[in-house]
Amino acid sequence: MSRPTPSDYAAAAAEAIRNHPDVRASVTAATRNFDAHRARAWEQIEPDAWRDWARDVKTHALTHLDRYLEQAEERLQANGTQVHWADTAEEALAVLGRIAAEGQVHRAVKAKSMLTEELGVNAYLEGRGVHVRETDLGEYIIQLLGEPPSHIVGPAIHRSVDDCRALFHEILGTPVDADPDVLAAAARSALRSDFLAADLGISGGNFLAADTGTLALIENEGNIRLSTSAPRIHVALVGIEKIVPRLDDLSGLLQITSRGATGQPVGIYVSLLQGPRRDDEPDGPEEVHVIFVDNGRTRLLADDRAWEALRCVRCGACLNICPVYRQTGGHPYGFTYSGPIGAILAPGLLGLAESMPLPYASSLCGACADVCPVRIPIPELLLHWRQQAVEAGLLPATEGLAMRAFSAASTHPGLFAAAGDVLRRIPWELGGRALPVVGGWSNERAPPAMDHRSFRARWKEGIE
Amino acid sequence: MSAREAILTRVRTALGSRDRTEHPGPFGGWRPEATPLPPSQAFGERFAEAGGEVVNVATEDDARSWLNAAAGGAGSVALGATLPTELHPDAPNVAPEEAAMGISMARGAVAETGSLILDARDGRRAQLLPPFHVVVVKATDIRETLAGALRSMAEDLPSAVGLHSGPSKSADIGQILVKGVHGPGRVVALIVATVRE
pLDDT in tens, A70-100: 999 999 999 999 999 999 999 999 999 999 9
A interface test, pick of B127, B151, B172, B175 with most A CB neighbours within 10 Å: B172
Confidence (pLDDT) at B197:
59
Contact residues for A43 (Cβ-Cβ < 8 A; gap 6+): none
* DSSP, res B175: T
pLDDT band at A405 (very low <50, low <70, confident <90, very high): confident
pLDDT of B89 higher than 90: yes
B interface test, pick of A23, A266, A299, A304 with most B CB neighbours within 10 Å: A266
User: Which three-class secondary structure state does DSSP give residue B162?
Assistant: strand
CB contact under 8 A, A56 and B81: no
Maximum Cα–Cα distance for chain B, whole Å? 67
Number of C-beta neighbours around residue A297 at 10 A:
25
Q: Where are the beta strands (DSSP E) in A97-148?
A: 107-110, 131-134
Confidence (pLDDT) at A418:
86
pLDDT of A219 higher than 50: yes
Distance of CA A348 to the CA centre of its chain: 14
d(CA A130, CA B181): 25
Q: Where are the beta strands (DSSP E) in A48-111?
A: 82-86, 107-110
Q: How far is B13 from chain A (nearest CA, A)?
A: 8
DSSP string over A356-396: TTGGGS-----HHHHH-TT---HHHHHHHHHHHHHHTT-S-
CB contact under 8 A, B162 and A271: yes
> What is the residue-averaged pLDDT of chain A?
94
Contact A309, A345 (CB under 8 A): yes
Confidence (pLDDT) at A435:
66
CB contact under 8 A, B30 and A46: yes
Cα dihedral A121, A220, B164, A186 sign = negative
| A250-276 confidence digits (pLDDT tens) | 999 999 999 999 999 999 999 999 999
Confidence (pLDDT) at B33:
76
* Residues 86-145, chain B, touching A (beta carbon < 8 A): 97, 112-115, 120-125, 127-129, 145
Contact A269, B164 (CB under 8 A): yes
B interface test, pick of A225, A228, A262, A288 with most B CB neighbours within 10 Å: A225
Confidence (pLDDT) at A408:
87
Average pLDDT over residues A168-188: 96
**B19 to chain A: closest CA residue:** A63
CB contact under 8 A, B27 and A251: yes
| B45-68 confidence digits (pLDDT tens) | 999 999 999 999 999 999 999 999
From the list A63, A136, A251, the residue facing B19 with the nearest CB is A63
Contact A218, A254 (CB under 8 A): yes
Average pLDDT over residues B119-135: 98
CB contact under 8 A, B157 and A265: no
Q: Which is more confident, A2 or B77?
A: B77
What percentage of residues in chain A have a pLDDT greater than 70? 95
**A209 to chain B: closest CA residue:** B154
- Window from A207-216, A296-305, B151-160, B171-180 with minimum mean pLDDT: B171-180
pLDDT band at A392 (very low <50, low <70, confident <90, very high): very high
User: Which three-class secondary structure state does DSSP give residue A423?
Assistant: helix
Name the phi and psi angles at A288, rounded to 5.
-130, 135
| B9-27 confidence digits (pLDDT tens) | 999 999 998 999 999 999 9
d(CA B165, CA B52): 7
* DSSP, res A453: S
Q: Does B17 lie at the interface with A, CB-CB under 8 angstroms?
A: no
d(CA A27, CA A23): 6
Confidence (pLDDT) at A1:
41
pLDDT of A214 higher than 90: yes
* DSSP, res B93: B
Q: Which helix (H) or strand (E) holds B118?
A: strand B115-119
Q: Does B85 lie at the interface with A, CB-CB under 8 angstroms?
A: no
Contact B13, B5 (CB under 8 A): no
Q: Which long-range contacts (CB under 8 A, 24 or more apart) does A436-444 make?
A: A436/A396, A436/A398, A436/A399, A436/A401, A436/A402, A437/A398, A437/A399, A437/A402, A437/A403, A440/A10, A444/A14
User: Which three-class secondary structure state does DSSP give residue A202?
Assistant: strand
What percentage of residues in chain B have a pLDDT greater than 70? 98
Average pLDDT over residues A56-73: 98
d(CA A347, CA B48): 44
pLDDT band at A402 (very low <50, low <70, confident <90, very high): confident
User: Residues B174, A17, A34, CA angle at the centre, nearest 5°?
Assistant: 35
Confidence (pLDDT) at A268:
98
Confidence (pLDDT) at A413:
87
Cβ-based contacts of B173 with chain A (< 8 Å): 137, 141, 156, 161, 164, 180, 183-184
d(CA A385, CA B123): 50
**B151 to chain A: closest CA residue:** A248
CB contact under 8 A, A222 and B184: yes
Predicted interface score ipTM higher than 0.95: yes
d(CA A84, CA A48): 37
| A443-463 confidence digits (pLDDT tens) | 667 777 777 888 888 888 887
From the list B146, B157, B169, the residue facing A268 with the nearest CB is B169
